[in-house]
Structure 1
Amino acid sequence: MDILEDLQWRGAINQQTDAEGLAKEIADHKISLYCGTDPTGDSMHIGHLIPFMILERFARFGHHPYILIGGATGSIGDPSGRKSERQLQTMDQVHHNEKALTKQMKQLFGRNADISIVNNYDWTKDVSLLDFLRDYGKLFNVNTMLNKDVVASRLDQGISFTEFTYQVLQAFDYYHLFKEHNVQLQIGGSDQWGNITAGTDLIHKLAGADAKVFGLTIPLMVKADGTKFGKTAGGAIWLDPEKTSPYEFYQFWYNQDDRDVIKYLKYFTFLNQKEIGALEEQVKNEPWKRAAQTALAEQVTEFVHGKDAVLDAQRISKILFQGEVQKLTTKEVSQAFNNVPTTEIANEPVNIVDLIMEMEIDKSKRQAREDVNNGAISVNGVKVTDVDAEINPNDNFDGKFIIVRRGKKKHFLAKTK
């Protein structure tokens, strides 16, 4: 099985500019390829991860991927998938995000020596406007550009000249990488098809119609229920552990629907066909064991955060399932309760009823007293039934946190100032 056959089995190919030609090129020799991301933020989320996992797969088959950080294109704004103009960032913010994303890419993919990381700001910053228009702009037909989906979808609302020219910049990137590094393939999400074909067209005009360059896109990821993949009630699932804790990250994957889990194993893990096939059988025959979800959570969390993060997440999960939150470390509390309602309080003893009111767990002192009397309130894993009880933050978690549970599942966190 070659890389393209592997991608077909994983359901990871949407469109190709020349499927037969790319297959022949890959059969003949190892190729160089690239995928880019713009520094619109200082971290990727799991949706961004998809095409770069494919680059990693190419590397494991012996090919040479380039990860492009869009320091130049990120200052302009890709109109793909948007209904209105993107708010331009300051160049200081763009450069900050460049550095953060480059660091993240090195952590994730730098372990593979066959993957290179480049920044299009390096070859774009010294090109003058006149040279750019004369050498590249002249080769783009406005009618063709208007027919690209990425532009056509914006014509009713309007699109600025800045975002209109984005496809020229991305095409320039492909041409530069082809000329300097013999890059022959660009991959991206399905929304990038117009930008990718702009690049292959430009190379054919500048290097000749027989230049062997190709484009490949990945299907849009949609969950079985029709909703967008990667979003939760709490927002995006980030790769930065400060934005999404490794425990939350692990839980996201573990909680996937049986209808989606095999698809995600194919996309996000490096398990082979036999291993995933065995897990698929377990989903059919023993779904309550959640073996596929466990494998998915372990594989992706280890790839992004490391083996220790998997062990930590599993330990936290076990403690929370057993209801023994007092066994958590201070660090584990910040992971496990990162997204629950949180209140800052003074680091001093406080009456349980006053604490409930300060944390806005109940709307009235009467209700708070009833909850305490009825045994509905637990503090740091211990049920509190005395309305006169004093809670001292320094009794647990290095004086930094108090965990309050109301009923069986509703948790609240107090952080000391």
Structure 2
Amino acid sequence: MARQKFWWVATVVGSILLAGAAQARLTPAEMRAVATVDAEHERSIGLLKTVVDQNSGTMNLEGVAKVGAMVRAELEPLGFAVTWKPMPQTQRAGHLIARHPGKPGAKRLLLIGHLDTVFEQDSPFQRFEREGESATGPGAGDDKGGIVVMLSALRAMKAAGLLDAADIEIVLTGDEEDAGDPVAIARGDLIAAGKRADVALDFEGLSVVEGRDMGSIARRSSNGWVLTTSGKTGHSSLIFSDAYGDGAINEMARILAAFRKDLPEPNLTFNTGVVAGGAMAALDSDGVRASATGKGNIIPATAVARGDFRTLSEDQTMRVRAKMERIVAAHAPGTNATIRFESGYPAMPPTAGNRALLDRLNLVNRDMGLPEMAALDPLKRGAGDIAFVAGDVDGLIGLGTASSGDHAPGETVDLASIRRQAKRAAILMARLSREPKDR
């Protein structure tokens, strides 16, 4: 027992000494930034409560704008010029865009997040509730927790004298959870910012796998599709005859079965979310509800289905689309079918530049005495705004909080993750800001 106790004490002391040695790798200014994050932890949690308690479901345009105003009040004292960009053209609230000029010739950093949540005003899940170092609340992790991490990191940089030279642009969209249409307008400001930037940092949630923080260097696309089939209607006793053929629902079943058999490939997922068929069938204007009428003794005249598919590159997107079109075109007897694609979020492939940024983040982890972050499997992450700039700038994802149950009542944020994520972000941004532009 004494030997076991000695071993435990030696291990703890060794860990403390190693942590101290790691901290010594930080510059004095970086250590001040770390200390500021710790000193302001409760302030950060208070800010998170304030923004979470303000509903900002995507379609609550006034609520999204109010959260934008709260963030503006945090950024302007740090020296940011803040603009609110209304988006009446897309029937969404708008975006917050902030600019900190920094030192000429330094790398320009683009920080990305979003103000809206999936929880609209009629959701019963509305309030922030804390229990120790965790809290529940709508958007507490996705993405209001990420915004708080961003602000905590920037305040720490300011307090440590690391912000003045930093060239930073921030784009917080107001419709990430349900992007407005047309996307070219809804994401025009973000795309333009990506073309100006040298590095993009996405402050959506940190992925944690088996207790280990993961780095994210890729996001898959999100593409929609609507499939409509038609057939000759008549008495059910005539189905499959030369005169009447297979009917619309059987044609729909053929196509969906062929999708399942022929489409699978690495990094692809696809899904049918809603389907209806009968003598009459239609989707509503939002594409989220379907209605149908029919009888068992009538050959169905029409069927409709809507779904999505997700890919890791634009090449894969185009290849999958072509496969789907070929399957749809191979009509069963007496039927017809058409497929229409809906552009959503593009893919962010795992490039060498993104991997190099993760290496930079892991240098920060080493110097802070934190474990190295391995690259997350992109199948474990959904689509996001950073993908709109991925073709123009290297980027990292997941600089926000660790959370669980996102997009569902009970969404829970790990409040302790605000500390380590804000420290990582502050040091990474400060170091990147000292580097000259690559181009």
TM bin (shorter chain): under 0.3
**Structure with more strand by fraction:** 2
Give the TM-score, by structure 1 length: 0.23
**Structure with more helix by fraction:** 1
Give the TM-score, by structure 2 length: 0.22
Q: Greater relative contact order (Cα 8 A, min sep 6): structure 1 or 2?
A: 2
